[in-house]
Amino acid sequence: MSFSVRYRLHVPSFRLAVAFLVLFAACATVGRLSFGEPTVELKQINITGFGLSGGTLDLVFDVYNPNAYRVRSTRVEIGLDLEGRHFGDALLERPLDLSPTNHSQVVVPVRFEWAGVGAGAKALLRRQAIAYGVTGAVLVETPLGARRVNVRGAGDVPLRALAR
């Protein structure tokens, strides 16, 4: 006497099990992804042009992406104060790719008008260093969605860095 046993796989149950495993794996992967805000530090200010009505500066930032994945910036908005007075605003709308766990140099141009800076411009020309303040935001795209990273910093910039 021989017995044969046949296993019959119930298709809907199998599909449900596979769907559950895929969902579980996806949740585990997303759970390991977390977003660490990039750090943004002003490294130097370069004067790129002077005119009768004002001029232009380049703000040179060091941006560190602490994440294990690439982050793409879609917009940079920066306000610059020198010697306690508003000096100018910058808007950078070209995409920037920030490599995983790496530093990137980001240059943001700023236009200013002499009429609005008066005493700040005089201090800039008389002192060996000037006090700066930056505020703004960097908008970034991540695998977890769009994020807004606030930028805030203050310090002193040597005049020789400005005269380069």
Average pLDDT, the chain: 77
Residue ranges of alpha helices (H) inside 33-158 are: 114-126
pLDDT in tens, 99-146: 999 999 999 888 877 776 665 566 566 666 778 888 999 898 888 889
Supply the pLDDT for residue 28: 45
Evaluate whether 99 touches 88 at the Cβ level (below 8 Å): no
- Checking if the pLDDT of 149 tops 70, the result is yes
Q: What share of the chain is helix, strand, coil (3-state, %, to 5)?
A: 25, 55, 25
The pTM assigned to this predicted structure is 0.69
**For residue 23, what is the DSSP state?**
H
Structure tokens given for 82: 């020198």
d(CA 119, CA 123): 6
Structure tokens given for 163: 């005269």
Average pLDDT estimate for 58-78: 90
- Checking if the pLDDT of 30 tops 70, the result is no
